[in-house]
């Protein structure tokens, strides 16, 4: 009889999920909660599976000691507390539970909105002290008010639905949300400045990324309608806490309801703590019996299927394909993600459709994992690190983006070629890539149908310009003046004196001053920088 598979449950998970695992005679399940880091490091070599929630830091040091570990299961949406790269390098599968807490987080967000409108927690606290103070807690109706929803993913869309039922007008900002999807949700698409000017309530439902950190800060609060109310049940850091406190003290913002914080728990000098206009909860978005039971059962089922059947479900770092196909598509997984990432930075944000063309040998196998990798790269700016090969299709569906795969065995100019086309109401943008000689030598060979040859790494600088003598030297001089080193260069043109495309691989990102100087040249039509 084979030895049992040891599973360590390191954080509280639904008893139903644990019971599901214990029912199988092949599993030995140990529940050891809230272990000190040193103790966890000491015992981890004994286990093949580690199940956690959000507190346990599954870092490179812990993974290095986990000599038998085959899988890490995160009972929740994100994997912020798991070093996915370190796990991947060790061949450890990382799984999560996408979608398990959507309703709970949505309901908490809307509850916070209602509590904020009617000052319910403040009135409750007053009553508990024996007071009967009706005048101090005059609230506002949400009926006929305007709600600005920033981020229309799973949770944002559910909040919008509930707001509409309550008779609210919903303005929605999501750079990737299609017009068709917006109509189906009965929301009005708007840019951020329009939401700031019109919204009575603003709720954020975006991941924390470089682009969204401090998204609502001092400059944004000044643009908002006086008396606006702010809700953040998404991620700490999206709202600048100090700037919010100042905006509330000045009367620009009437109040705020906050469930997430830059530092959790908030420090003693937290600027929002003493403001009576602020409602605070301790990161309770997913803290319902239903959500915890759902994610606990979901991760237990995923682990069971992996260990007993070899089926990979909800993995963030492994494609769900057989070994033979994986050998063929493996190089395209990372390359495709980079191509998608570049294209998203070159395209208009409100894309209606993405078309992926596969030509040559790659077209003869199951390309769905490559498509998912491409889309994951394409959607990183809107979905952040939470987007992965598992949840990317549901994210694109929520955004109303159509996906089309096309395959051709025609070799044309290259033995193999992958081309991605992003289609919006403003037109099309495309990028194509292949491998030169070996899977270790990827190349971008076409941008918007213009032939180029560029390496997909580091920082890409792209410039459309008039084909005239001296312009490349001019750019090189400006880059040098701003201490930006050019690693390689690719030039292409339609015809002599016509429009040319310049692609540079840079060692660092040019600052805004450098880019502004470049854009001043009347013969330069546009400049874009894509970070990999």
Q: How far apart are CA 383 and CA 25, in angstroms?
A: 39
From the list 161, 169, 283, 313, the catalytic residue is 283
Q: How far apart are CA 371 and CA 349, in angstroms?
A: 19
Alpha helices in 363-454 (DSSP H): 368-378, 380-383, 392-399
Q: How far apart are CA 281 and CA 291, in angstroms?
A: 17
Q: Report the interhelical angle of 289-309 vs 15-22 (nearest 10°).
A: 20
Count of positions (residues) in the chain: 532
State the pairing for strand pair 486-493/459-466: unpaired
Q: How far apart are CA 501 and CA 425, in angstroms?
A: 23
Q: How far apart are CA 370 and CA 335, in angstroms?
A: 9
From the list 30, 39, 264, 364, the catalytic residue is 264
Residue 351: which of 399, 405, 404 has the closest Cα?
Answer: 399
247: left (phi over 0), alpha (psi -120 to 50) or beta: alpha
Q: How far apart are CA 252 and CA 243, in angstroms?
A: 11
Which three-class secondary structure state does DSSP give residue 183? helix
From the list 235, 341, 350, 446, the catalytic residue is 235
Contact 515, 441 (CB under 8 A): no
Known catalytic membership, residue 264: yes
**Angle made by CA atoms 77, 79, 80, in degrees to the nearest 5:** 120
**H or E stretch covering 279:** strand 278-280
The alpha carbon dihedral of 171, 172, 175, 177 has a sign of: negative
Q: How far apart are CA 408 and CA 406, in angstroms?
A: 7
Owner of token pair 């702010």? 230
Residues 6+ apart with CB under 8 A from 254: 227, 228, 229, 248, 277
Known catalytic membership, residue 235: yes
Could you tell me which residues are beta bridge partners of residue 82?
Answer: 58
Tokens coding 304: 């069971």
Known catalytic membership, residue 180: no
Q: How far apart are CA 416 and CA 443, in angstroms?
A: 12
Q: Which residues are catalytic?
A: 235, 264, 283
């Amino acid at each position: 009889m084979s030895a049992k598979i040891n599973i360590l449950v390191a954080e509280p998970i639904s008893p139903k999920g644990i019971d599901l695992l214990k029912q199988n005679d092949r599993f030995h399940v140990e529940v050891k909660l809230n272990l000190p880091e040193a103790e966890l490091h000491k015992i981890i070599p004994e286990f093949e599976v580690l199940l956690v929630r959000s507190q346990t830091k599954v870092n490179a040091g812990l993974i290095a000691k986990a000599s038998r570990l085959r899988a890490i299961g995160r009972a929740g949406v994100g994997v912020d507390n798991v070093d996915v790269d370190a796990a991947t390098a060790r061949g450890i599968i990382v799984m999560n539970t996408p979608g398990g807490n959507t309703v709970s987080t949505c309901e908490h967000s809307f509850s916070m909105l209602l509590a904020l409108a009617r000052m319910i927690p403040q009135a409750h606290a007053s009553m508990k002290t024996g007071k009967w103070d009706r005048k101090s807690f005059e609230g506002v109706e949400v009926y006929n008010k305007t709600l600005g929803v920033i981020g229309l993913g799973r949770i944002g869309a559910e909040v919008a639905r509930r707001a509409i039922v309550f008779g609210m007008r919903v303005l929605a900002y999501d750079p990737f949300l299609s017009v068709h999807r917006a109509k189906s949700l009965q929301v009005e698409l708007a840019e951020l400045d329009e939401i700031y000017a019109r919204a009575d309530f603003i709720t954020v439902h975006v991941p924390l990324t470089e682009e969204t950190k401090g998204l609502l800060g001092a400059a944004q609060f000044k643009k908002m309608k006086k008396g606006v109310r702010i809700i953040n049940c998404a991620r700490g850091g999206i709202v600048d806490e100090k700037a919010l406190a100042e905006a509330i003290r000045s009367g620009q913002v009437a109040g705020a309801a906050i469930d997430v914080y830059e530092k959790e728990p908030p420090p003693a000098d937290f600027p929002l703590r003493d403001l009576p206009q602020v409602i605070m909860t301790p990161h309770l978005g997913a803290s319902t019996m239903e959500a915890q039971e759902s994610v606990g059962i979901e991760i237990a089922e995923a682990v069971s299927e992996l260990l007993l059947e070899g089926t990979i479900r909800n993995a963030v770092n492994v494609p769900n394909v057989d070994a033979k196909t994986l050998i063929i598509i493996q190089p395209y997984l990372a390359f495709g993600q980079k191509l998608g990432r570049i294209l998203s930075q070159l395209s208009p944000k409100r894309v209606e459709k993405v078309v992926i063309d596969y030509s040559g040998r790659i077209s003869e196998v199951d390309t769905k994992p490559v498509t998912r990798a491409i889309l994951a790269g394409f959607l990183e700016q809107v979905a952040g690190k939470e987007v992965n090969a598992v949840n990317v299709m549901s994210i694109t569906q929520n955004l109303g983006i159509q996906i089309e795969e096309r395959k051709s065995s025609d070799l044309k100019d290259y033995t193999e070629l992958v081309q991605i086309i992003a289609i919006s109401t403003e037109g099309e943008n495309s990028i194509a890539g292949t491998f030169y000689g070996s899977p270790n030598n990827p190349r971008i060979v076409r941008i918007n149908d213009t032939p180029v040859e560029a390496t997909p790494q580091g920082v890409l600088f792209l410039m459309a310009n008039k084909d005239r003598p001296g312009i490349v030297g001019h750019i090189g001089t400006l880059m040098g003046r701003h201490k930006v080193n050019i690693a390689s260069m690719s030039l292409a043109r339609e015809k002599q004196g016509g429009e040319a495309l310049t692609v540079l691989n840079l060692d660092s990102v040019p600052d805004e001053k450098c880019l502004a100087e470049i854009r001043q040249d009347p013969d330069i039509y546009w400049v874009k920088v894509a970070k990999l």
